[in-house]
Structure 1
Amino acid sequence: MLIDAHCHLDFAQFDHDRTEVFDSAKAVGVVRFVVPGTTRSRWPQVLALGERADTSVCLGLHPYFVDEHQASDIDSLDHLLGEHSELVAVGECGIDGRFTDTLEAQWHYFDAQLKLAKQHSLPVVVHCVHASDKVAKRLSQIALPKAGLIHAFSGSIEQATKFLDLGFKLGVGGAVTYERAKRLRQTVKALPDDAFVLETDSPDMPLSGYQGMRNEPCRVAEVCNVVASLRGQTVEQVAAQSSDTVATLFGLSRA
């Protein structure tokens, strides 16, 4: 049993064959999907996916799309978090250090969403690129009761430990399938069994061998294979542990 802990199945890239994408994933043992929100305009599509029995959803404001966000989005998010008990987290939110011109606005929206997560007692799904130390410091300051997920983690074991010490889990996806990702691979080998979850970030972050192609949740099975090989564990062990960690993190049924 596998869970894709982070996939954007609401995106337009899946509009023409979304049902087939779900079916392809289930054919390789993926039984559940976690879909985060990115912009207010896409929240209705995310909530619609949440009506599926096999899909759990989050709502948030992604730093990549910060120019699309408005101050009123925070109030709307607060309202929806109170209205929709099926939401499992706040996110995708966070900081992308590649875009220095929007960092002030990114921090504004990130801080606001962290406060909402604390207010609603929900975990957060964090996008963190070139900002691990600053994000870890902020998460330490706010002390969220349910921590959350550091999506697409690619850092060192020292950076990983900072997040783990705060109760967060680390998302491991397509990046680990590249042999050149030596630091990440060493980190994944050294992590405790319950420290990480498997994800794809579909349609983005294609695996090695699929460059230039749309990523899909079915490929979380290949991520699992690589992680199991790196850690000297069976595919079944890694799949079961990751799925259990996802269920614990987001409060999902284990049925």
Structure 2
Amino acid sequence: MYFNTHTHLNSEELFDQRDHYIQNALEKGVNHMTVVGYDVASSQRALEIAHEYDFVYATVGISPNDCLNTTDEDLTLIAKMAEDDKVVALGEIGLDYYYDDVPKEKQMGVFKKQIKIAQDLNLPITIHCRDAYEDTYNVLEKANLKGIMHCYSGSDQMALRFIKLGYYISLAGPVTFKNAKMPKRVATNVPLDSLLIETDDPYMAPVPLRGTTNEPANCIYIAKTIAELKGLDEEEVAKVTTDNAYKVFRLL
């Protein structure tokens, strides 16, 4: 049994064939998944999919890469959607300094406003962070929330700092890549009871499927790689990461 904590079945690439991808995931033993919003429209789609399937959950939020034109009205819509019973977290939200499409000040403003929504609704948060680890940490340190560092690409030492704040570290396709030294270090050195698995589809398909359209079923390859790096049975990795997802999403 696997729990894919971050899929984008709400994306243009996957949405129209979502039932096909979901059925394929079920056949592979992936029987829980969370569809993650990154703007208002995708958040609405995430909710739509979550209401179609009992075992699918949703997050709603506006990502740092999609917040350039975000208005207070957009944030009001996100807050309203976040009250839905199928919403298990606010996200993906955060900071991304890799690209310079969105000014840092705009990203930070939208990030903090969404943190306030999560605080008001007592929801965990799903964090998108790229090349902005110290700034993200400084915000989260004051937020008094728990959640997920999604598709984590930082160092193992930074990961341990986030864990102390109450965050799980979620690994995606890059951990399977041959030359991805840092994700492999994270998988090796972060305790299993702080790890989650995800695909972040439709991009970054894992080995041995690189170059293909990524899909929710492929999280089994993330679990397989973590098991190999830790010298554990794949079944144990599947069980513990599923238990971890239940805890962070408060599904127990």
> In the alignment, which residue of structure 2 is the partner of 1:131?
132
Residue-pair matches, total: 250
Q: 1:166-181 counterparts in 2 under 5 A?
A: 166-181=165-180
Q: Partners of 2:7 and 2:242 in 1: how far apart?
A: 15
> In the alignment, which residue of structure 2 is the partner of 1:143?
144
Is this contact kept in 2: 1:8–1:35, CA < 8 A? yes
Q: Partners of 1:18 and 1:141 in 2: how far apart?
A: 38
Is this contact kept in 2: 1:94–1:128, CA < 8 A? yes
Deviation at 1:53, TM superposition (A): 0.4
Q: Which deviates more from structure 2 when the two are superposed, residues 158-167 or residues 7-16?
A: 7-16
- Asked if 1:207 corresponds to 2:206, the answer is yes
Tell me the SS of whatever aligns to 2:129: strand
Deviation at 1:68, TM superposition (A): 4.3
> In the alignment, which residue of structure 2 is the partner of 1:236?
235
> In the alignment, which residue of structure 1 is the partner of 2:79?
78
Q: Which deviates more from structure 2 when the two are superposed, residues 120-129 or residues 150-159?
A: 150-159
Is this contact kept in 1: 2:36–2:43, CA < 8 A? no
Q: Partners of 2:118 and 2:93 in 1: how far apart?
A: 11
Q: Partners of 1:101 and 1:175 in 2: how far apart?
A: 24
Letter in 2 for 1:67: L
> In the alignment, which residue of structure 2 is the partner of 1:60?
61
> In the alignment, which residue of structure 2 is the partner of 1:194?
193
Is this contact kept in 2: 1:225–1:235, CA < 8 A? yes
Deviations 1:17-65 (A, max 9, x none): 2211111111111001101111112232111111110100011001111
Report the aligned-residue RMSD.
1.3
Is this contact kept in 2: 1:39–1:68, CA < 8 A? no
Distance 1:17 1:75, change over 3 A: closer
**Structure 1 unaligned spans of 5+:** none
- Asked if 1:156 corresponds to 2:155, the answer is yes
TM-score, normalised relative to structure 1: 0.94
Deviations 1:118-177 (A, max 9, x none): 111000000000011110111001212xx1000011221210011001010011110100
> In the alignment, which residue of structure 2 is the partner of 1:216?
215
> In the alignment, which residue of structure 2 is the partner of 1:110?
111
Deviation at 1:188, TM superposition (A): 1.0
Tell me the SS of whatever aligns to 1:158: helix
Is this contact kept in 2: 1:6–1:35, CA < 8 A? yes
Tell me the SS of whatever aligns to 2:67: helix
Is this contact kept in 2: 1:40–1:69, CA < 8 A? no
Q: 1:239-250 counterparts in 2 under 5 A?
A: 239-250=238-249
Letter in 1 for 2:193: D
> In the alignment, which residue of structure 1 is the partner of 2:11?
11
Q: Which deviates more from structure 2 when the two are superposed, residues 36-45 or residues 217-226?
A: 36-45
Tell me the SS of whatever aligns to 2:7: coil
> In the alignment, which residue of structure 1 is the partner of 2:224?
225
Distance 1:18 1:78, change over 3 A: closer
Q: Partners of 2:190 and 2:24 in 1: how far apart?
A: 30
Q: Partners of 2:100 and 2:196 in 1: how far apart?
A: 29
Deviation at 1:101, TM superposition (A): 4.8
